[in-house]
Every structure is written in C-alpha cells, then in structure tokens.
Amino acid sequence: MTALVYGLLRRFRLTELSRRHDPRRVLALFNFINGGLSIGLLAAVAHVSASPFIFPSLGPTAFLLFYRPTAEVSSPRNALAGHLIGAAAGWLSLMLFGLLEAPPALQAGVSWPRVGAAALSLGGTSALMVLLRAAHPPAGATTLIVSLGLMPHLWQIPVLMAAVLLLLAQAFVLNRLAGIRYPFWHPDRTPPDT
C-alpha cells in the first residue's frame, strides 16, 4: 500500500481498514475514489466555465500524483514544466506545418503535415524534458493532443496549465494530509536523517 493511502488511513484513524482488508484492494479503492474525484472536479470546472479544463493526459498525471507522489516525475515542477513543454511544442508544430486552422486529425484524418507535426512535437517534447530535467511522461500525450488538433488554440494553453495547477493543489493537500512530504516545487534531494 502506498504511503499516501496509509497516511490518510492513519490520519483519519482508519488503519483497521488496512489490517482487515487486502492492502491492494484498499489502494485500488483509494485510487478509484481519488481519481474519480480529481477528474470529476476538473470536468465540473470545464462544464461551468465552458473551457477545456479536462483533457486526456490529466488521467495519467493524476495517477502519478496519487500513486507515486514522491517520485521526481510527480513533482509540481516536473508536472508543470512537462505539460507546458508539451503544449508549447504541440502548438509550435501546428504553426510550423500550417495546421493552426486545420480540422483535428480525428475529423479530417492524418495528413502528411499532421504526421510531421505529431513527430516533431513528441520529439521536441521528449528532448526538452530531458535537457531541462523535467521528465513527466503524460506530457507526451499533451503534445499529441495539441499537435493532432484537439486543442489547437493558443488561448487553450493557459487553461490547460490551470487544470494542471488544480490537480497539483489537490495532490499537495491530500499528500500533506497523509503526512507525506509532497514538495512545493521539486523533491528534496538531500538524504533523510538516519
């Protein structure tokens, strides 16, 4: 069972739950509830604001934030930088291949310019995340979402980033409630006291 789930069970005096039930099932239930709540909250914000606060790559981001909260790829720095790099690379690829006004690939099919935009966006995203030490695998999906024309407008990037911030805020609160030292920005690289 992850430290997050155990910490929350301890915080709310529910540790008996983990002793009486299979820890993997408790973890699965926690992820079911938290994943549904986090994405449901973002979908509700999207509905109320009529803006794209929900997009597919938030699912794997949520999974990382709540299943492996202390991993470097789950840090706020990596999540924010990764998604920003992915969105920017996707949009720049659309611009370079003249696809800013083109219908999405799901509607119009995959043309040769779309092949180029998708390849360039993922290659650029991957390279920049490595160079900037900001690996966040779900950003690979974000760049494809943009370069395939599903979120092609420049105004959508700040909305996308706001959605990531909301998800990170939820991760921060839940992880800190569980007693996990979830970072404000980047994981502490100093070894713990022994």
Q: What is the 3-state secondary structure (H, E, C) of the chain?
A: CCHHHHHHHHHCCCHHHHHHCCHHHHHHHHHHHHHHHHHHHHHHHHHHHCCCCCCCCHHHHHHHHHHCCCCHHHCHHHHHHHHHHHHHHHHHHHHHCCCCCCCCHHHHCCCHHHHHHHHHHHHHHHHHHHHCCCCCCHHHHHHHHHHCCCCCCCCHHHHHHHHHHHHHHHHHHHHHHCCCCCCCCCCCCCCCCC
Q: Tell me whether residue 144 is in a domain.
A: yes
Q: What pLDDT score does 22 carry?
A: 79
Confidence check: pLDDT of 6 > 70:
no
In this predicted structure, the answer to whether residue 115 has a pLDDT above a threshold of 50 is yes
Quote the CA–CA distance of 3 and 18 in Å, as a whole number. Answer: 12
Confidence of residue 12 (pLDDT cuts 50, 70, 90): low
Residue with tokens 């997050």: 4
Residue 157 lies in a domain: yes
Comparing 194 with 94, which gets the higher pLDDT?
A: 94
Provide mean pLDDT across the span 136-143.
98
Q: Which stretch of 26-35, 41-50, 76-85, 178-187 has the lowest confidence by average pLDDT? A: 26-35
Q: What is the residue-averaged pLDDT of the chain?
A: 89
Do the domain assignments include residue 188?
A: no
In a domain, 193, yes or no: no
The residue among 89 and 18 whose pLDDT is bigger is: 89
Task: Decide if 192 is inside a domain.
Answer: no
Residue 8 lies in a domain: yes
Q: First and final CA of the chain: distance in angstroms?
A: 23
- Residue 31 belongs to some domain of the structure: yes
Average pLDDT estimate for 16-24: 72
Under the banding of pLDDT at 50, 70 and 90, the label for residue 119 is very high
Whether 130 is covered by a domain: the verdict is: yes
Region 68-92: mean pLDDT is: 96
What is the extent of the structural domain holding 27?
A: 3-177
